[in-house]
Every structure is written in structure tokens, then in C-alpha cells.
Amino acid sequence: MQSDYYQAQEYYMKALGISEEIGDLDGIQRDLGNLGLIYDALADYPRALETYQKALLIAEEQGDSMSAARHLGNMGSLYVIQELYDKAYEVYSKSLEMNIKMHNLSGQANAYGNLGFYYRNLKDYKKAEEHYEIALGIYRKIQDKSGMAINYGNLANLYRTDELYDKSYSYISNALAINRDLGIETSIGHNLGNLGKLYIKLAQDSLRHEKTSNFLFLQKNDILFQMAIGYINQAVEIHEKLGNQSVLISWYSDLVEAYSGIGNYKKALEYHQKFHELNEVVFDRNKAKEIGMLEAKREADLRKRELEFREHERLRFANLQYLVIVIGIFILLVAMLLLVRVNVTRGFLKGLIFLNFILLFEFLLILLDPYIEVLSDRQPILVFAANFVLALIVFPIHQFIHGFAEKRLLKD
């Protein structure tokens, strides 16, 4: 399977090179997005994040809000994997906001599903359920069967965790029916395996709650374990054919529990050995993912510190410039007051007062510009209005100084 990813990586790198050569920004953005998915699958999270960010920047420059929202969603999933939950929530929320503004129902459903994934990882199952239900409702509305199946499956797993077994069975059955209709083998395998997990949980809970050992009760539990084995074996067959090793580990582990439940310890041992062997194979890949996550966190921390240092230096330099400007205005003001006492022409003094006024006005504009920009939302008419109001405030100061200078000149 990994060899397929490396082949895909090579293909998209070539495609990206061609897109860059001919200056096709849409192609560059598309190829970067696809490369991000490949790096994500290979657990190269720093490169995946960097690639998504490049694609996002191009999408924003082009005004392609739909693609930008998609890239943000992909970045959010990376942040969740790395347990950077604040960043994940930020980009997921931004993606949802953009899709709502565009009236993009499919994008909204995807964003709500992503937020469900975020809350599930935080173990806030109530909020996860709320967001998955909203996503499911939208997918139903637009008749997106694939999206419906994904969220039926997500909700089924939540309900199994909450021991709401009837709802879990209903939702996973709906997901399985849709995926069979669409012919999505990987998802069919997941649904069958999760049905098996549900029956194992039912049998285990029944054993815990019913403190009895009568024959009929044990026979009932044997049936539940047998049903679990049937479903999970179907899942194993599908995923062995597809080569999904990381998923097979989970199914082998479940079969160990199910065969142990019916007392077939020979089979339980067989699947325990399969689990152990495959776990050894996948171990290096999991370690690579763990190292990738740690590396991504380290790079994120370094980037954050670098940005904080740059911002600190920028503010320090800006404050220094403000101080120089204030001192300059003060010196000009003092010079003007001193010149009033000596024999200078009225025209020269008027020019000096006007220069002082212009410098003061420009200084206030620079000082207040960030606040004007936020309040006006960069609307030209609002920026102009703010500057006009500022001029009205500064003008009386100019008039006062001018009048004061005129009186001193006349007195002299």
C-alpha cells in the first residue's frame, strides 16, 4: 500500500512541476492539495501541513473560497492527529464560516462532520453527536449518500460507546446498506467490522450485568459472539484483499475476544499470533507517525517562537519610530515658539506651523490606522470618513497655535 502512495507522490510532483512551468495557478493549487493528502497518508505531517498551507495561500489569493475551506478542513484533521486542538478548532470553525457564507451545503456538512471528529477526540461525545447529526441532516437534504453513510457510521460508533445498542445497530445498518449500494469496499469492511464490535460489546455487557450461569443464558451469549465472528471475518476478507494492515490489526484483536468468548481458545490463539505478527510489521509505521507528530509539534513550537520574536522586534522598532516622530514634532513646536520671539517673516512662521500640523496629522493617522482598518473593514468611504473626523479634531489645534503665533508677532 505504501508503494502506491510513493507512486502517487511521484505523479503529483511531476504534475506540480508542469503546472508551475506553465503558470497554471488552479493546477498548482490542486496538485499541492493532492500532495498534502499523500504526505498525510505517509504520516509526514510537517510536509503535509506546509503543502496544505501553500495551497490555501493560492486559493485565498485567487478568491477561491470553496478550495480554501477544503484546505482548512484538511489542516484541521492534521492538527487533531497531533493533538493541537486549539488550532484544529480555529481552522474547522473558519472552514464552516466560509461554507455558510458561500451557501455551500456540502461544504457545511463536511465542516460539521469535522467538528464532530474534533469533539469525539476530546471525548465530548454529546457535542460530537450534535455536530454529526447536523452533518447527517444536511447530507440527507442534498441526497449525498456517501456523506450520509460516513455520518451514520460515526454516530453508530458513538451510540455503541454510550451503550445505546439499538440506535447503534440501526445507524450502522443504514451505513452498510448505502455503502453496498455505492460499492465502496473499504467502507463496507469497516461497517461489517463495527457490527461485529457491537455484538461483542452486547455479549460482554450481558455477561457483566447478568450474574448467572444457566445454559440458556450462555447459549444466547454464544450466539452473539458467533454473529460477531461472522461479521468480522467478512471485514477481514475485504481488508486482507485491499491490504489495509492497520485496520486488520483491530479486527484480529476483536476475533481474539470473540473466539475466547465462545471458548474456542485454539482459534483465539491463532488470531492472537496473527495480531502479534502484523503488529510487528505495522510497529515501525506507527513509530514513524509518532516521530512525525513530535517533529511537527517541535516545528510548530519553533515557528511560534520565531513569530513571537519577530512580532516583539517589530513592535520595539515601531515604538522607537513613534518616539522619534514625537520628539521631532516636539522639537518643531519648541522651535516655532522660540522663533515667535525673534524677527522672522510671517510667511516662514505660517509654513512652519503648517508643517507641524501636517506632521501631527500624519502621526495620528499612522497611530490610529490599525484601529481605523478594523472598524471600517477597509471600506474606502469609511476610511475617508474616519480621516475626515480626525482632521476636524486636529484642525482646532492648528488654529489655536496659528492664532497664538499671530498675537505674538503683532505684540512684537
Residue-wise pLDDT for 118-170, tens only, equals 999 999 999 999 999 999 999 999 999 999 999 999 999 999 988 899 999 99
Span 319-359, pLDDT tens digits: 677 677 677 767 766 766 666 566 556 666 667 667 767 77
**Position 17: which residue type?**
G
AA identity, residue 233: N
For the chain, what is the mean pLDDT?
A: 82
Contacts of 353 (CB under 8 A, 6+ apart): 336, 398, 401, 402, 405
CA distances from 3 to 38, 206, 278, 348 (A): 11, 44, 18, 80
Note the pLDDT of residue 102. 92
CB 200, CB 254: distance < 8 Å:
yes
Q: What is the mean pLDDT of residues 42-49?
A: 83
pLDDT at 210: 58
Whole-number Å distance between alpha carbons of 314 and 305 = 14
Average pLDDT over residues 247-251: 89
Is pLDDT of 110 > 60? yes
Decide: 273 and 256 in contact? Cβ < 8 Å. Answer: no
Band (pLDDT 50/70/90 cuts) for residue 212 is very low
Q: Is 196 or 45 the better-scoring residue by pLDDT?
A: 196
Distance CA 191, CA 173 (A): 8
Closest CA to 46 of 275, 289, 219: 289
- 262-315 residue pLDDT tens: 989 999 999 999 988 888 776 655 555 555 555 666 666 666 677 777 777 777
Please say whether the beta carbons of 270 and 260 come within 8 A: no
What integer pLDDT is reported at residue 338 of this predicted model?
66
Least confident range of 37-41, 48-52, 83-87, 89-93: 37-41
Mean pLDDT across 96-108: 94
**The predicted structure's pLDDT at residue 332:** 67
Q: Are 172 and 191 in contact (CB under 8 A)?
A: yes
Lowest-pLDDT range, 85-89, 147-151, 207-211? 207-211
Cell numbers 475626515 correspond to what residue? Answer: 388
Count CB-CB contacts under 10 A for residue 312.
10
Nearest Cα residue to 196 out of 217, 169, 219, 178: 169
Q: pLDDT, tens digit, for every residue of 356-404?
A: 677 777 777 777 777 777 676 667 777 778 777 877 777 776 666 666 6
* Radius of gyration (C-alpha) of the chain in whole angstroms: 33
- Express as a percent the part of the chain with pLDDT over 90: 45
Residue 373 CB coordination number (10 Å): 13
Q: Between residues 50 and 335, which one has the greater pLDDT?
A: 50
Distance CA 390, CA 329 (A): 18
pLDDT of res. 40: 84
Q: Please tell me the predicted confidence (pLDDT) of residue 215.
A: 46
